[in-house]
Amino acid sequence: MRITIVTGFFLPVPPLRGGSTEKIWHRLAAEFARAGHAVTFVSRRWPGLPDRETADGVTHIRIPGTDHARFLAANLWHDLRWGLRVARALPPGDAVICNTVTLPIWLRAAKPAAGKVVAVLARMPKGHGRAYGRVDLLLALSARVAEQLRAENPALAPRLAPFPYPIDYGLHVRARQAAAAGSPTLKIGYVGRIHPDKGIRQLVAACAALAGRPDLPDWRLELTGPWAVPEGGGGEEFRAGLEREFGAALGARLRFNGPEFDPAKLAARYAALDVFCYPSRDRGETFGVAVAEAMAAGVPVVVSGLPCFAELVRPDVTGLVYDHEAPDAETRLAHRLALLLQDAALRAELARAAQAHVARYDYAASARDVLATLSRCLEPAPRGI
């Protein structure tokens, strides 16, 4: 097959500046190429990267993009302009995998030679089902995403396929095995964008409520990820505001690490944690890659009650869940964090079950599934009798 992969307008590939989508499809592109397919990758032009090159069997085309904006309307405008540039650069092919919003709507009509149009739903649908009526294949990151698409447009049902975001399972397992012996100071961690939608304030507030409890072992909170707006964060003022509001209660317990773009180093950061918390309030969440990576690293997880986490976290079996919309959400989160800090046996039990559960999301298995789905999509429609 001739497969083209398109990512968004604001990050480069290889994922020099992070990004779950960029990281995942960069790795899958290499897997597709190793399986003998002709793969082209279209991403943002970036200093130090050539506009065209072939690496690991993948042909890269890099075109001008722009930084992520603070407002949705601006980002949608950038996405549309990006799609127009992408369409001009697309080579003839069998399938175009689009990690963009507007491009799948019109690409099939504008450039049929590029191949079948595949849309990846990386956010909860908000009218996508109606807009994507001419898309050939839709990859849904969770059962909840597929359900919403069917509700918006029942005719899409035969074109829906599951696509839970893959992870480098082996890398995280090895990182855990190589991790240093446990420190007397337990680490609660979060990895992702430092943004209000991710529930960061709720997490910091919950930890501030635990700071004065004498019945807990020594602990600290480490937040790893970008806070700059161009990288998808909530901005410097958001980060500084957290320190102003909770600095007195938490002191040196609160640490902002900034983003980590090296996969091996990031895996080591996960493996060094004792508890991982992903308190997202973002209704657009579709899967939770960071949660799956923490689980692969053998770290017990606490997540908010968003439906997208249901396929990863079975309450009290593969992790703990709290109601992030309850009036006392911070208290509920603090209770679950305290429970894990106090109970090493519970941490170990949840971690074992979680690590076994996410083995199914490894890259090699995901690549085989996606290629099989693409092959079925490309099969000619049966002729009427």
Quote the pLDDT of residue 385: 41
Which element (helix H / strand E) includes 313?
Answer: none
Angle at 311 between CA 163 and CA 146, to 5 degrees: 45
Both tokens assigned to 38: 């002709």
Closest CA to 141 of 338, 291, 331: 291
Q: What is the pLDDT of residues 276-317, one digit of tens each?
A: 999 999 876 777 889 999 999 999 999 999 988 988 999 999
Q: Alpha-carbon distance 351 to 78, whole Å?
A: 41
Quote the pLDDT of residue 182: 67
Question: CA of 280: how far to CAs of 109, 305, 349, in Å?
Answer: 37, 9, 24
Helix extents (H) in the chain? 20-34, 72-89, 103-110, 128-131, 143-152, 169-178, 200-210, 236-250, 263-271, 289-296, 329-342, 344-357, 363-378
Residue-wise DSSP of 129-188: HHHTTT-SEEEESSHHHHHHHHHH-GGGGGGEEE-PPPB-HHHHHHHHHHPPPPPSSEEE
- Looking at the fold, whether 193 and 238 belong to one and the same domain comes out as yes
Q: What's the rounded mean pLDDT across residues 81-96?
A: 97
Residue 124 has pLDDT above 90, yes or no: no
Q: What is the pLDDT of residues 24-75, one digit of tens each?
A: 999 999 999 999 999 999 999 999 999 999 999 999 999 999 998 888 899 9
Residue showing tokens 């009290």: 316
Helix (H, G, I), strand (E, B) or coil at 80: helix
- Looking at the fold, whether 14 and 136 belong to one and the same domain comes out as yes
Q: How far apart are the first and last CA of the chain?
A: 29
> Which burial class, exposed, middle or buried, applies to 112 when counting CB atoms under 10 A from its CB (0-12, 13-18, 19+)?
exposed
Q: What is the pLDDT of residues 358-371, one digit of tens each?
A: 999 999 999 999 99
Q: What is the CA radius of gyration of the chain?
A: 21
Q: What's the rounded mean pLDDT across residues 115-124?
A: 91
**3 against 18, higher pLDDT:** 3
Residue 76 within a domain: yes
Closest CA to 65 of 252, 225, 230: 230
- Looking at the fold, whether 79 and 139 belong to one and the same domain comes out as yes
- Looking at the fold, whether 153 and 186 belong to one and the same domain comes out as no
- Looking at the fold, whether 157 and 187 belong to one and the same domain comes out as no
Q: Alpha-carbon distance 353 to 330, whole Å?
A: 26
- Looking at the fold, whether 265 and 299 belong to one and the same domain comes out as yes
Q: State the average pLDDT for the chain.
A: 93
Q: What's the rounded mean pLDDT across residues 146-162?
A: 93
Q: Alpha-carbon distance 293 to 22, whole Å?
A: 16
Quote the pLDDT of residue 283: 76
Residue 100 within a domain: yes
Residue 385 within a domain: no
Residue 346 Cα to chain centre, angstroms: 27
- Looking at the fold, whether 173 and 96 belong to one and the same domain comes out as no
- DSSP strand pairing (137-140 vs 160-162): parallel
Residue 200 Cα to chain centre, angstroms: 16
- Looking at the fold, whether 199 and 326 belong to one and the same domain comes out as yes
- Looking at the fold, whether 158 and 195 belong to one and the same domain comes out as no
| Number of domains the chain contains | 2
CB neighbours (10 Å) of residue 162? 14
Residue 384 has pLDDT above 60, yes or no: no
Residue 384 within a domain: no
Q: What is the pLDDT of residues 170-181, one digit of tens each?
A: 999 999 999 877
- Looking at the fold, whether 209 and 300 belong to one and the same domain comes out as yes
- Looking at the fold, whether 215 and 195 belong to one and the same domain comes out as yes
The one-letter amino acid at 132:
Y
User: Sign (positive/negative) of CA torsion 121, 31, 173, 207?
Assistant: negative
Percentage of the chain exceeding pLDDT 90: 82
Residue 42 within a domain: yes
Residue 276 within a domain: yes
359 conformational bin, left if phi > 0, alpha if psi -120 to 50, beta if neither? alpha
Q: Alpha-carbon distance 114 to 109, whole Å?
A: 10
- Looking at the fold, whether 158 and 191 belong to one and the same domain comes out as no
* CATH code of the domain containing 70: 3.40.50.2000
Q: What is the pLDDT of residues 212-253, one digit of tens each?
A: 899 999 999 999 999 998 888 999 999 999 999 999 999 999
Q: What's the rounded mean pLDDT across residues 245-269?
A: 93
Residue 383 within a domain: no
Range of the domain at 266: 169-361
Residue 306 within a domain: yes
